[in-house]
Amino acid sequence: MAKVTAGMIKELRERTGAGIMDCKKALNETQGNVEDAIAYLREKGLAAAAKKAGRIAAEGIVDAYIHLGGRVGVLIEVNCETDFVAKTDAFKEFTRDMAMQVAASKPEYVSREEVPASVIQQEKEIYRAAALNEGKPERIVDRIVDGRLEKYFQETCLLEQPFIKDTDKTVQQLLQELISQLGENISVRRFARFERGEGLEKRRQDDWADEVMAELNK
């Protein structure tokens, strides 16, 4: 079996527009044969879905989801190309599922492209220091950092999380299936998650610290 390299993944992604993880899986499934991997992606509908990704999606819906008796709430916007698709049951179900996904899995970003470079750099520094503290050889530390960074993306980026109703597929794969089904570009634009009492404990601690400093400065 041919080793799947970053260059092979890059070539396949450029030729199909499919996601990184889908390209990697396709190459693994086809023993590293790029042409067979293209056919694999087309059979799965992933290449066709990717080609629609550049089309403007300005329609859609904003949905709200309240969970656990008002303890957690989510607002989410999902876009598509036409009002017709926005009114379909499949689109509405996907939007509701995404709101539930955000409520349950607590993503911080829609995709890895949204993660600030400063955050990525900070995470890399933490992973590198941790690996060295664990006694890992310097020659493999970079690979360890890359692996832990991938896990970070999978935990914090909505599209890379396992779908809560079917953990064998990612949210991105679910989205691509819907694009193939409905024939339009569809994207999760943004979301906001609210949890009752979130941040209040920290504010109380800050208020207490301010009071102490005020007393000391008298």
35: CATH: 1.10.8.10
Mark whether 108 and 176 lie in a shared domain: yes
Please write the tens of the pLDDT for every residue from 177-207. Answer: 898 888 888 999 999 999 988 777 655 555 5
Q: How far is it, in rounded angstroms, from Cα 200 to Cα 185?
A: 40
User: Do residues 38 and 96 both lie within one domain?
Assistant: no
Same domain flag for 13 and 93: no
**Left, alpha or beta for 182 (phi > 0: left; psi -120 to 50: alpha)?**
alpha
- Beta 166-170 vs 187-195: how paired, if at all? unpaired
Q: pTM here?
A: 0.68
Contact between 127 and 133 under an 8 Å Cβ cutoff? The reply is no
Residue 93 and residue 171 in one domain: yes
Does residue 62 share a domain with residue 31? no
Yes or no: say if 200 and 98 are a contact pair by the CB < 8 Å rule: no
Rounded to 5°, the CA angle 167-116-12 comes to 55
Query: Quick one: DSSP state of residue 3?
Result: P
Domain hosting 167: range is 56-115+157-199
pLDDT at 64: 94
